[in-house]
Chains A and B, each alone.
Chain A
């Protein structure tokens, strides 16, 4: 079945550091890919998305590129802030799976001042 694998956390960085959170997936066909963010005590919010190969999703300084050849959708940000501290989830929506999302296990990110 479809699956998503994220890099193990937690990840701790200093403010203004470069961030990469790895995400790889297994799915048939061309799934849509998403990054969701969960701030402390809140539900998940969509951060960015990409629906076809080579698409780049971007929002709030975060970027991720849909790489079909490596089945990856890594999240990057050039200069993180303390306010970026949250849990980040990579997810896919299969073309065969109605509207259901399959989530990775989440990566907790902490940014120190």
Chain B
């Protein structure tokens, strides 16, 4: 099992460009998440998808859109990149279960720089 995979690993964009970050999981999990990691701020939730066909905003959704393409894949799109979106982006997945028991599994991350 590959677990959670993300592409690309690194990306440099110019202000105003668009791009899509891809995430896929092979654990048959229903829930998927996108986080951004900034120095001194931990991880902040951008969007999540509790199950296929549903998406919801997290703590910092502005400037992003998501698509839950199918049960395996959850993409994050930046329509018009801004320097404030320079960050490391992590995708995660989990399987809802007994309260508090569902571990989130993380991908290796995408390091994005917006110039």
Taking a contact as CB atoms closer than 8 A, the residue among B41, B100, B107, B109 that contacts A93 in the complex is: B100
> Cβ of B99 < 8 Å from any Cβ of A?
yes
**Are B100 and A32 closer than 8 Å at their CB atoms?**
yes
Stretch of B11-19, B43-51, B62-70, B72-80 on the interface side = B43-51
If A44-B106, A99-B94, A101-B104 touch, whether A106 touches B42 (CB-CB below 8 Å) is: yes
Q: Tell me the residues in window 36-61 of chain B with beta carbons closer than 8 Å to chain A beta carbons.
A: 40-45, 48, 50, 58
B41 proximity list for chain A (CB < 8 A): 105
Q: Encode contact with B along A19-63: 1 for CB under 8 Å, 0 otherwise.
A: 000000000000110001000011111100101100000000000
In Å, the complex CA distance between A93 and B97 comes to 13
**Are B4 and A100 closer than 8 Å at their CB atoms?**
no
A103 proximity list for chain B (CB < 8 A): 42-44
In Å, the complex CA distance between A104 and B43 comes to 8
Count, chain A residues at interface, CB 8 A: 24
A-B contact count (CB 8 A): 59
In Å, the complex CA distance between A49 and B102 comes to 10
In Å, the complex CA distance between A45 and B70 comes to 25
> Cβ of A82 < 8 Å from any Cβ of B?
no
Taking a contact as CB atoms closer than 8 A, the residue among A43, A93, A104 that contacts B106 in the complex is: A43
A99 proximity list for chain B (CB < 8 A): 31, 48, 50, 94, 96, 102, 104
With A42-B108, A43-B4, A98-B50 given, can you name 20 additional A-B contacts, CB distance below 8 Å?
A31-B100, A32-B100, A32-B101, A43-B107, A43-B109, A44-B92, A44-B106, A45-B106, A46-B104, A49-B100, A51-B101, A52-B100, A89-B43, A95-B100, A99-B48, A99-B96, A103-B44, A105-B40, A105-B41, A106-B42
Q: Could you list some 24 contacts between A and B, CB below 8 A? A: A4-B42, A31-B100, A32-B100, A32-B101, A36-B106, A41-B108, A43-B106, A43-B107, A43-B108, A43-B109, A45-B106, A51-B99, A89-B42, A95-B100, A98-B48, A99-B48, A99-B102, A100-B48, A101-B45, A101-B104, A103-B44, A105-B40, A105-B42, A106-B40
- Measuring CB to CB, which residues of chain A are less than 8 angstroms from any residue of chain B? 4, 31-32, 36, 41-46, 49, 51-52, 89, 93, 95, 98-101, 103-106
